[in-house]
Amino acid sequence: MTSIIKRVATGPELSKSISYEESRAGMRLVLEGLADPVQAAVFLIGLRMKRETDDENKGILQGIRDKTKTVVADVDELVDIADPYNGYGRSLPSSPFLPVLLAES
């Protein structure tokens, strides 16, 4: 984890990209609790500040998928509700209200 942090957390201009496998391994360390909480925060914030590459995002996603259980719903239709956050929006999240509205229609 230290090697990864040294590359991704040196600022937006000096940081270096990491590979798919390194980002996957880093995320797994975070989720398995093997990374110190400060290291985990620096890893994730460092990636965000340097702007993640596609390989880094894919590795993080795969690391999450490796540690989570996938459930398949046996339904005809499924609505996925989320409030994406870009770091700038300052508004009331709408997702808690949407199920009620959808149930009424």
Residue 21 domain-assigned (yes or no): yes
| Total of domains in the chain | 1
Residue 7 domain-assigned (yes or no): yes
Give the up-direction half-sphere exposure of residue 72: CA atoms within 13 A in the CB hemisphere. Answer: 1
Render pLDDT for 22-43 as a digit per residue (tens, 0 to 9): 999 999 999 999 999 999 999 9
Residue 83 domain-assigned (yes or no): no
For residue 93, give every residue at least 6 positions away whose Cβ sits within 8 Å of its Cβ, in sequence order, or none. Answer: 83
User: Which whole number is the average pLDDT over 57-81?
Assistant: 91
Q: CA-CA distance, 30 to 1, in Å (whole number)?
A: 9
Residue 89 domain-assigned (yes or no): no
Q: Provide the residue range defining the domain that includes 53.
A: 2-67
Q: Model's pTM, two decimal places?
A: 0.70
Q: CA-CA distance, 70 to 5, in Å (whole number)?
A: 29
Residue 30 CB coordination number (10 Å): 22
Q: CA-CA distance, 98 to 105, in Å (whole number)?
A: 11
Residue 41 domain-assigned (yes or no): yes
What pLDDT, on a 0 to 100 scale, did the predictor assign at position 105?
A: 64
What pLDDT, on a 0 to 100 scale, did the predictor assign at position 27?
A: 96
Burial zone of 105 (CB within 10 Å; 0-12 exposed, 13-18 middle, 19+ buried) = exposed
Tell me the CATH number at 56: 1.20.970.10
Residue 81 domain-assigned (yes or no): no
Residue 62 domain-assigned (yes or no): yes
Residue 55 domain-assigned (yes or no): yes
